Every structure is written in structure tokens, then in C-alpha cells.
Amino acid sequence: MPYGIQSQAYLPSRFGNWARSHLRVASAFLESVLRTNVYVDGFNLYYGALRKTPFRWVNLNTLFQLLLPNNTIQDIKYFTALVAARPNDLTQPQRQQLYLRALATLPNVSVQLGHFLVHEVMMALVVPPGQPQQFVKVIKTEEKGSDVNLATQLLHDAHMNRFDVAVVVSNDSDLLGPIKIVRNELNKKVGVLNPQKHPSRAILPHIDFIKQIRAGALQASLFPDQLSDRHGMFTKPQGW
């Protein structure tokens, strides 16, 4: 052991408590300076933790600060697609635009948009055993691009050394490939904030940590009912 350096095991007893305390402080400091980027699958978050709850007006920066108190959150990247009006819900696009406007008041949040494909398809109906199969034409809506955009940005930021820790807000096992590359090839830590009830078994062995997004954290992270930006005042959607 080099002269002048002692491990904790060799410290005199009267210095033992002092050393352990300072080691804990040093460890906490190292965690607090970890550059952390958060990558949010907007629809996975919405349908997993927000839909039909009073927490849809959630401030993502506040939420992630609560869930990751020992991390320095740099950038929050939110991936979604613009929804279209439905015959039974004509105001859906307006509600989404208000929320995106609220997110735009947060300086560390950026939004990247995918797109929707809407087309008619024939799908089978459930029929009693022994009955002939019946089909019905339905309108199928598919969200395209968000998971690919998230994966691409995650890999690009890792290659550019823009973070020490990446936190993925999703439970989608399609993201396993880029997560493994970022963690195993680029030596970055990767965690998951899970919006779903159960974690993906495919992802669990390949991440450094996972936390559940619970109602208590969401409730403590809401925007004020009324916000303002350069366009003026606006209010959260009715019913939210």
C-alpha cells in the first residue's frame, strides 16, 4: 500500500466513524454529478400510468427529480405522435397540444414527433365454438416512429458521450437491442422507470436499476392548473 494511504480497515478506531461518514458523503457526491438523460416513450407512459387518472397534467422534470434524487438530470427527451380527432372524442388533439405546450415551458424537455397510420382492416370476431368465422371491417390506428426515434437518439447520445446514465421511460422490449449496446459496448449505465404494472422480463437482466412510476410520485409532480408562455396564459384540459 502506498505511503500515506490507508484503507478503512487500517484506520485507527477513533477515525473509523469519521472515515465511514466521509466515504458515504463522497459516494453520494459522485452519484449526484452523474450526467443523466431521460428518454420517454410518451404513449407507453400515457397508457401505462396516466390514462384515466388525474395525473395526466404531469410535470416530467419534477417527476424525474423525485424518482432520481441522486442524479443530475440534463435532458428529458419526449417521443410521441400527434393524435387525430375521433368521432367520439373531437377534442383529443386540443388536449394533447395543451400538454405539449406545458412541456415546452420546461427548458430541459424536448419533444420529437413520430406519426400515425390510419387504415381499414378486416378482423375476426369472437364466435361460439362450431360457428362459422365472421369478420368485421375496423379502423386501425398505428403509432409509428416513436420507438425508433427513441432508440436512435439514445444510441447517438451515447456515442457522443452526452450522458453517464440513460433512463428509459418505457416497458417496451423492442428497446432491448439499443439498451444492450449502450450498456455493454459503450459502458454507460442504463435504468428504467417503468410505467406498466409489471416489468419486462426481457429487459430486466440488461439494466442497472428499475423503479416503478407510482401514483404518489405522479400526484406530487403536477403542473399548476394555469401556466403561461410567450403566447399568454393557458389552462390544463377540462377533466384532467
Residues 61-75 pLDDT 10s: 999 999 999 999 999
So what's the pLDDT on residue 24? 47
What is the bridge-based pairing of β-strands 232-235 and 226-229?
antiparallel
Q: How confident is the model at residue 119 (pLDDT cuts 50, 70, 90)?
A: low
First-last CA distance in the chain: 62
- For residues 121-136, give the mean pLDDT: 87
Average pLDDT over the chain, rounded to an integer: 86
Measure the CA–CA gap between 172 and 36, rounded to whole angstroms: 20
Measure the CA–CA gap between 39 and 12, rounded to whole angstroms: 47
**Over 70: is that where the pLDDT of 141 sits?**
no
So what's the pLDDT on residue 84? 84
Of the given ranges (30-34, 149-153, 213-217, 218-222), which has the lowest mean pLDDT? 30-34
**Over 70: is that where the pLDDT of 133 sits?**
yes
With beta carbons less than 8 A apart as the criterion, state whether 190 and 182 touch: yes
Q: How confident is the model at residue 9 (pLDDT cuts 50, 70, 90)?
A: very low
So what's the pLDDT on residue 90? 85
SS3 call for 83: coil
19 against 212, higher pLDDT: 212
Q: Where are the domains of the chain?
A: 38-235
What separation in angstroms does the CA of 35 have from each of 62, 92, 112? 17, 36, 21
SS3 call for 193: strand
Q: pTM score > 0.75 for this model?
A: yes
So what's the pLDDT on residue 12? 46
Tell me the per-residue pLDDT of 90-101, one tens digit each, with 9 for 90 and over: 889 999 999 999
Fold of 38-235: Rossmann fold (3.40.50)
So what's the pLDDT on residue 137? 82
So what's the pLDDT on residue 89? 84
So what's the pLDDT on residue 26? 40
**Over 80: is that where the pLDDT of 227 sits?**
yes
- For residues 46-52, give the mean pLDDT: 96
Backbone angles phi, psi at 150, to 5 degrees: -65, -50
Measure the CA–CA gap between 140 and 224, rounded to whole angstroms: 35
Tell me the per-residue pLDDT of 158-185, one tens digit each, with 9 for 90 and over: 999 999 999 999 999 999 999 999 999 9
- For residues 108-130, give the mean pLDDT: 84
**Over 50: is that where the pLDDT of 209 sits?**
yes
